[in-house]
Amino acid sequence: MAATAADASLPVALAHALLDTASILRALPDRPRVAPAVRLTVEQTRACQLLLDQLTAALGLPGTELLDGPDGLSGAELAVSGRLGLSAPGAVTGGEVQRAARAALAAFPGPGIVVRAQDGTPLRCWAAGPAGAPAVVLVSACGMPVGLAVKWLAALSSDHRVVTWESRNLFPSPDGSGLGEPGEHTLDAQAADVLAVLDGFGIRQAHALGLCGGAVIALAAAARSDRITSLSLWHGDFELGGAAPKTPHQHDIEALLAMVSRGRPQAAAMHKIMSRPSTVRALRPDIAHYLIHPYATPELLHRYGLLNGALMSADCRDLLHAPQPALVVTSQKDTTAHPAGSAYVARHLPRAHLHTLPDGDHLTAFDADDGLVALARDFVRSCVVSDRRDT
């Protein structure tokens, strides 16, 4: 469970929570507003605001404004408030603030490093695990902060070299320079990012583990390069023409992305609707601050429409010649990405195996529970053993 400011070690917990919401704090154009989890007195509000000011300064994050309550907050600000869980602080010394900031900055997975994509776009990347171990490139859902994939990164890095990155064009630089100019948004560019990340960490070959829209990127990377030696596609959001049905959610998101990708005025109009409090209330509370990131501002929403729209509109039937061993995972209870799409992909990839889970929805795939991790690890290990036998 995520730590909150109500925990005994308040400065440390709050420092971790602030870093966990850094992508939204950096993206919002104005000073982000937050609300406490419980009603505070005037004195408690002043003390809590002081602690926020001290920690954001120590962490290099934009400052936040603490309000009395949630009225008037946007969906993104409500999601941040939920993650912070602010309550009345006790006396906190300057030394405690600095120690809390250092602990949060050093915590797994640590600060990202910048790798340049083939078109020069900066990609913020992370690596974990032994440098000489078999490599896994973790391809998360489009537009999601690294925090959503951290459980996979941590679980697999005990015996693999795991690398991952955040989607191009959608994450402000930590140096305060903003989003930067948008680079390419095509599926080809995003598939090339997989190889650029491998190059950035000096990795020659890797297993590609793709989640949601990341499954499309992983599949495209495997179709274009034998540097991807095997792949696993988890709850993939595949466009397959009329060959497989889609869920209502898929149809709704496709329409939304098509609209906001047309231009910034359309994105701004849709953002007014999506920033309502009801938006964040519909999200899973423990990960709402990740899920809402690409909807946090009109500019992010426009770029997300271009980037994820390219994934959702690319006909994946053109990629099903990828010859690598593949594990395709879905669940009959996935109402986000239709399981029939995964079944079709598994039937048509030359060396694929379909694993249909009895339980779990789309988002539980990101929870990386023991059963899912064991499934992934066993498959990667079997591919490594098979490769050794073939040499």
pLDDT of residue 386: 56
Give residue-wise pLDDT tens across range 144-179.
999 999 999 999 999 999 999 999 999 998 887 889
Q: What is the pTM of this model?
A: 0.94
Give residue-wise pLDDT tens across range 189-203.
999 999 999 999 999
Give residue-wise pLDDT tens across range 271-298.
999 999 999 999 999 999 999 999 999 9
Tally of CB atoms within 10 A around 368: 19
* For residue 390, pLDDT beyond 70: no
**Quick one: which of 193, 168, 187, 191 has its CA closest to 294?**
168
**Structural class in CATH, domain 113-390:** alpha beta
Q: Where in the chain is the domain with CATH 3.40.50.1820?
A: 113-390
The per-residue b/e assignment along 226-243, b for 16 or more CB within 10 angstroms, e otherwise, is: ebbbbbbbbbbbbbbeeb
Give residue-wise pLDDT tens across range 205-246.
999 999 999 999 999 999 999 999 999 999 999 999 999 999
DSSP β-bridge partners for residue 233: 210, 328
Grade residue 3 by pLDDT with cuts at 50, 70 and 90: very low
Give residue-wise pLDDT tens across range 112-148.
999 999 999 999 999 999 999 999 999 999 999 999 9
DSSP β-bridge partners for residue 66: 34
Tally of CB atoms within 10 A around 250: 19
Paired tokens of 385? 């053993």
Give residue-wise pLDDT tens across range 238-261.
999 999 999 999 999 999 999 999
* For residue 36, pLDDT beyond 90: yes
Mean pLDDT for the chain? 94
Grade residue 388 by pLDDT with cuts at 50, 70 and 90: very low
**Quick one: which of 226, 228, 225 has its CA closest to 208?**
228
